[in-house]
Amino acid sequence: MKTQVAIIGAGPSGLLLGQLLHHQGIDNVIVERRSGEYVLSRIRAGVLEQGMVDLLREAGVAQRMDAEGLPHDGFELAFDNRRVRVALDELTGGSKVMVYGQTEVTRDLMAAREAVGATTIYEAGNVQPHALDSDCPYITFEKDGETVRLDCDYIAGCDGYHGVSRQSIPKERIKEFEKVYPFGWLGVLSDTPPVSDELIYARHDRGFSLCSMRSATRSRYYLQVPLDEKVENWSDERFWEELKRRLPKEVANKLVTGPSIEKSIAPLRSFVVEPMQYGRLFLVGDAAHIVPPTGAKGLNLAASDVNTLYRLMVKVYQEGRTDLIERYSQTCLKRIWKAERFSWWMTSMLHTFSDQDDFNSRLQLAELDYVTSSEAGLTTIAENYVGLPYEPLE
Ligand code: APR
Ligand code: PHB
């Protein structure tokens, strides 16, 4: 087989890149190790920055998002039994975010790819990139008992944190930066109306909690839990009781509870690899970086990497500008580190840490009070939350 761009991984990064390239007449094949149903069964975040919304529109996959997504022009921070609103649009000159689940984004991208007849090979075994530092890279994989070779010009490693792409770069050519937090998030999805029209990020001495949503009838809630916590130890009843204890009283009183339809624990991690390219291989999204979910940046960072790689590829194929593609990593990393900083900061300010003494607890409250009582403070939260501008290519 032969294509122009071989894409490893059919998560949001791979599918969005594939769709944008296809629109520009750049041939691509996606190779994914799981089935399509499995990819869609993963429940992930759901807040899209304006830049990602625009990119989905450019890719021609925004119809359902525009009809069913919930535009949000603010969110709340709760601490010390108080609630402070971060008025995103007023503080940023009109920017908003869109609440629309990653699962739905993925579903729309899959449908669009099928409609244009582009090739995705699901359930591909032992995917391996080869000859990355040559002009003729290729990937191999196993499908239906046979080994298939896919020749290409470039390889996009969109295969997430545990993927093969980053692992195939020689160790001495990259540097990894990592911070692991001593807790995870226990998430529950339920068909109950959201407790509030806007998201609430709540700090409490018992731990952080988040009230989010997927629609007017479907809610997503999270609780900070110790890293070694087991999901089996959390009955629905225990989850709702704990959530109520961590929320301001008037919010807890309004909470509508119901059976969970999904419950899982995710660890929190900050991670970046530099550089994000090796020869003809480009790392995109979770393959290159992870953020803790507190700033809602994971999916959005993947979209900004896709934006950069897509525009650089268009320059290559339409203008012959093979020189610019060398700047992929440095262009992406500028924005990534700012999102890493914001996600780490929000995490540090809102969670309880196992070694937390009263002094640190008071500092956290002072910091929250300080940033939320000044327009400058609120603006710095708002402009990061709606998403910093995409970096120019030249
Ligand atoms: N070969 C082929 N496919 C692979 C391999 C492999 N060796 N390893 C992983 N994959 C596939 C996974 O099965 C998955 O479908 O790559 C895909 C990667 O998807 P994601 O992990 O969702 O990563 P990405 O597409 O970069 O999505 C952005 O941002 O913070 C997050 O929640 C957010 O998942 C979202 C991510
Ligand atoms: C979610 O709805 O799943 C969600 C929202 C905001 C976050 C993280 C997760 O910061």
- Kindly compute the dihedral angle of the four CA atoms of residues 110, 112, 117, 118, in this order, to the nearest 10 degrees: -60
Ligand 1, atom 22, lies closest to the CA of 11
Could you read off the pLDDT of 250-277 as tens digits, one per residue? 999 999 999 999 999 999 999 999 999 9
Could you read off the pLDDT of 145-203 as tens digits, one per residue? 999 999 999 999 999 999 999 999 999 999 999 999 999 999 999 999 999 999 999 99
The CATH number of domain 5-70+98-177+269-352 is 3.50.50.60: yes
Ligand 2 centroid–CA 119 distance in Å is 31
**pLDDT given at position 112:** 98
Q: Does ligand 1 come within 6 angstroms of the Cβ of 39?
A: yes
Joined tokens for residue 316: 């290559």
pLDDT category at 43 given cuts 50, 70, 90 is: confident
Q: Does residue 356 have a pLDDT over 80?
A: no
Dihedral sign (CA 253, 258, 264, 270): negative
In this structure, are residues 301 and 285 in contact, taking their beta carbons and an 8 Å threshold?
yes
Q: 72, 204, 289, 351: which is the annotated catalytic residue?
A: 72
**pLDDT given at position 71:** 97
* Ligand 1 pocket: which of 7, 13, 17 to mutate (most atoms within 8 A of CB): 13
Q: 100, 181, 278, 385: which is the annotated catalytic residue?
A: 385
Distance, CA of 247 to CA of 250 (rounded, Å): 8
| Mean pLDDT of the chain, nearest integer | 97
Ligand 2 centroid–CA 212 distance in Å is 6
Arithmetic mean of pLDDT, 273-288: 98
End-to-end CA distance of the chain: 34
Distance, CA of 150 to CA of 145 (rounded, Å): 16
DSSP 229: -
Protein residues whose CB sits closer than 6 Å to any atom of ligand 2: 45-47, 199, 212, 220, 293-294, 296
Arithmetic mean of pLDDT, 48-59: 97
Ligand 1 centroid–CA 187 distance in Å is 19
Counting from 1 in the atom list of ligand 2, the atom nearest the Cα of 44 is 3
Question: Annotated catalytic, 278?
Answer: no
Tell me the DSSP string of 121-183: E-S-EEEEEE-TTSSS-EEEEEETTEEEEEE-SEEEE---TT-HHHHTS-GGG-EEEEEEEEE
**pLDDT given at position 246:** 98
Could you read off the pLDDT of 101-150 as tens digits, one per residue? 999 999 999 999 999 999 999 999 999 999 999 999 999 999 999 999 99
Could you read off the pLDDT of 313-342 as tens digits, one per residue? 999 999 999 999 999 999 999 999 999 999
Range 67-86 burial, b when 16+ CB lie within 10 A, else e = eebbebbbbbbbbeeebbeb
Ligand 1, atom 36, lies closest to the CA of 299
**pLDDT given at position 355:** 76
Q: How far from chain centre, in Å, is Cα 261?
A: 22
Q: What percent of the chain has pLDDT over 70?
A: 100
pLDDT category at 394 given cuts 50, 70, 90 is: confident
Q: Does ligand 1 come within 6 angstroms of the Cβ of 127?
A: yes
Ligand 2, atom 9, lies closest to the CA of 45
**pLDDT given at position 280:** 98
pTM: 0.97
Domain boundaries, the chain: 5-70+98-177+269-352
Question: Annotated catalytic, 328?
Answer: no
